[in-house]
Structure 1
Amino acid sequence: MRIGLVSDTHDLLRPEVLDYLRGSDHIVHAGDVCGEAVLQELARIAPLTAVRGNNDRGAWAQRLREQELLRFGGATILVVHDIADLGRAPDTGGAATVVTGHSHKPRVEERDGVLYVNPGSAGPRRFKLPISAGELIVERGRVTAKLVLF
């Protein structure tokens, strides 16, 4: 199963990011969507789960939760916009994978048996950080992550 990852679009969906997400079985947006049209466009590609980021405001954003706990193919994945919201000793809710956004810095890291993935920012360029997205591949309960820079 391929789960497309995107975050911090800030109301900008780049064609190359949309092309990358095509073929996903599910898409996860880790917050700072900044516009309902972004969610509608992503949902045309695949089933979508999105969390609310610190810049998501308005009636459409109130429908988004701050955290989502997802299960795919025997894997449990926690999605939260800002990793700081989990605190110093994160309670991952039993998830072996945590997807975050907020920093705009693409990163894959394993700590204490938990895979942390930040797909970076697919929206407007911030400082000298790259435009990026990612994917999770779930096979028999195991999750691997890949990031792509545009």
Structure 2
Amino acid sequence: MIAIFSDTHSSNGHELEGEALEAARNAETVIHAGDFTSTAALEAFRNECDRLFAVHGNADSAAVRDRLPTARTVEAEEVRFAVTHRREGGATGLAMFGRSRDADVVVSGHSHRPTVVETDDVLLLNPGSHVQPRGNRPGFAVLERDGDELSGEIREPDGTVLETVSVATRR
């Protein structure tokens, strides 16, 4: 399983609860698209996750920015993820970022809005914010292998499904 988070915005810890906490603990790969805000939040995530791949966001402290890149590429379950907090140019900018990294999925954050956008050649996934939705529904994403694709959902921390998603593997 792959669990995807963004926009923690915490000074104390990860603030995960319910199915979001369970997903972080049980996932083989955890991707975080930035804005932990504090080193305490980053370290709390690291303590819950076996394999955390994260980038920093615009609200992260200098100490967090020193520890994390602004962008990265992650391969998991035969799918390539390009991870960034945000990109200028909206969906077009994110798609161009994904193409430049030969990605199947672009994971981003910043808006706190759980979103899935299918483009011609890359899937754009924003899991939202599980703790500070800012007028949106709180969210995180879970993807699991299903034959020749990854399929999953953006969920609220209590497990309520907000949106479904699937992407073909590179098999």
Measured against the shorter chain, the TM-score band is: 0.7 to 0.9
Distance in 1, matches of 2:79 and 2:147, equals 8
Identical positions, percent: 30
Equivalent residue, structure 2, for 1:76: 80
Measured at CA, do residues 135 and 89 of structure 1 come closer, stay the same or move farther in structure 2, by a change above 3 Å?
closer
Measured at CA, do residues 36 and 14 of structure 1 come closer, stay the same or move farther in structure 2, by a change above 3 Å?
same
Once the two structures are TM-superposed, the CA of residue 91 in structure 1 deviates from its matched residue by: 3.4
Equivalent residue, structure 2, for 1:10: 9
| 2:83 and 2:106 in contact (8 A); partners too | yes
Distance in 2, matches of 1:89 and 1:24, equals 26
Once the two structures are TM-superposed, the CA of residue 137 in structure 1 deviates from its matched residue by: 2.3
What is the 5 A alignment of 1:85-124?
87=93, 90-92=96-98, 93-124=101-132
Q: Which has the higher contact order (CA 8 A, sep 6+)?
A: 1
| 1:72 and 1:138 in contact (8 A); partners too | no
Q: Give the unaligned 5+ runs of structure 2.
A: 158-171
| 2:87 and 2:94 in contact (8 A); partners too | no
Q: Which has the higher helix share?
A: 2
Distance in 1, matches of 2:38 and 2:28, equals 23
TM-score if structure 2 supplies the norm length? 0.76
Equivalent residue, structure 2, for 1:62: 66
Once the two structures are TM-superposed, the CA of residue 45 in structure 1 deviates from its matched residue by: 2.6
Distance in 2, matches of 1:57 and 1:131, equals 23
Worse-matched range after superposition: 5-14 or 139-148: 139-148
Q: Give the unaligned 5+ runs of structure 1.
A: none
SS of the residue corresponding to residue 30 of structure 2 reads strand
| 1:73 and 1:141 in contact (8 A); partners too | no
Q: CA RMSD in A?
A: 2.1
TM-score if structure 1 supplies the norm length? 0.86
Measured at CA, do residues 10 and 59 of structure 1 come closer, stay the same or move farther in structure 2, by a change above 3 Å?
same
Q: Choose which of 48, 51, 56 in structure 1 pairs with 2:55.
A: 51
What amino acid is aligned across from residue 132 of structure 1 in structure 2? G
What is the number of residues matched between the two proteins?
148
What is the 5 A alignment of 1:117-136?
117-126=125-134, 128-136=135-143
| 1:79 and 1:98 in contact (8 A); partners too | yes
